[in-house]
Amino acid sequence: MRILVTGGAGFIGSHLSQRLLGRGDEVVVLDNFNDYYDPAIKARNLGELGEPAGLTVVRGDIRDDALLAGLFDAHRFDCIVHLAARAGVRPSLVDPLLYEDVNGRGTLNLLEAARRHSITRFVFASSSSVYGNVKEIPFSEEAPVNRPVSPYAATKAAGELYGYNYFHLYGISFTALRFFTVYGPRQRPDMAIHKFTRLIDEGQPLPFYGDGTTERDYTYFSDIIDGVEAAVDRDLGYEIINLGESRTTSLTEMVGLIEVAVGKKAILDRQPMQPGDVTITCADVTKARSLLDYRPTTTVPDGIQRFVAWYRALQGGT
């Protein structure tokens, strides 16, 4: 297959590109290498893929119509996997218009390009954030998601809605995958597990929001990539599918696991809960199991050990 991976230089995108190239697909990565975090990290992510014959890297913006037109003229894509986004929850409160521009308009731009070029399969990175403070645990795809608690969540819900438009009007198969906190090697440096590991290792205070009872469903990257790969291979019509582990870990437990893996104690800088944060995320993955044959295998304690091993190797190598 020939697959466009937007955001392919990022954490999840570089792993997905690696998986697809490994099985013989042609991959075009479209990424603008923005400075939300150090672009050198994105270059390093792609560097880890080597220089496989099937890989083309295009440095550009999903909001650039002319660039998309040229790209879609030059390549006949079998599938678009749209991962490019502004991805942090808290920064979306600071610059909501940027989030709307990249995540909302950018997604619409790609859907328009897909329509114009008769591309029939589109896989979209949505987020557990769309559930907001939904009360029923675990979160089912049937739950109403019209009460987002951050601009980021609203833009991801908007992407799902635009996707339905393009399925309904133009028959584009659109699968929205709601990722639940993804971690593992190459994880974004702004995400909690990566940040906590760095701060504990360096003996610096760790911002600890709330009383430690907030819970997250943490998903190891390779399980997520299994789910995305399965979605790439299927025309499902319009579907929204959770990709998580269906288990939760409290903030206190997570800090404890990282302390053990790093071999140092955390210095906690206790702070109130942040606006836009949710108290719990937990995925019902019944639908993923039946539609994508999704079977996550990595437990959080194992995943944390592997993440910290990667972190250590990186420190040793730089």
Ligand X SMILES: NC(=O)c1ccc[n+]([C@@H]2O[C@H](COP(=O)([O-])OP(=O)(O)OC[C@H]3O[C@@H](n4cnc5c(N)ncnc54)[C@H](O)[C@@H]3O)[C@@H](O)[C@H]2O)c1
Phi, psi of 32, deg, nearest 5: -95, 5
Considering the candidates 99, 152, 162, 220, report the single residue annotated as catalytic: 152
Beta carbons within 8 Å of 306's beta carbon, 6+ residues apart: 184, 185, 220, 298
Residue 281 in contact with ligand X, rule: CB under 6 A: no
Phi, psi of 108, deg, nearest 5: -65, -40
Q: How far is the CB of 263 from ligand X (least distance, A)?
A: 25
What would the two tokens of residue 139 be? 């979160």
Cβ nearer to ligand X, comparing 55 with 83: 83
Q: Which of residues 143-172 bind ligand X (CB under 6 A)?
A: none
Measured CA to CA, the distance from residue 45 to residue 26 in angstroms comes to: 18
Contact string 109-138 vs ligand X (x = CB under 6 A): ----------------x-x-----------
- Clarify whether 152 is annotated catalytic: yes
Of 3, 4, 20, 87, which lies in the binding site for ligand X, with binding defined by CB under 6 A?
87
Measured CA to CA, the distance from residue 25 to residue 20 in angstroms comes to: 5
Phi, psi of 233, deg, nearest 5: -90, 5
Of 157, 176, 182, 193, which lies in the binding site for ligand X, with binding defined by CB under 6 A?
182
Of 17, 20, 27, 106, which lies in the binding site for ligand X, with binding defined by CB under 6 A?
106
C-alpha count within 13 angstroms, C-beta hemisphere, residue 318: 9
Residue 208 in contact with ligand X, rule: CB under 6 A: no
Residues that bind ligand X (CB under 6 A): 6-7, 9-13, 30-34, 42, 61-63, 83-85, 87, 102, 106, 125, 127, 179, 181-182, 188
Residues with catalytic annotation? Answer: 152
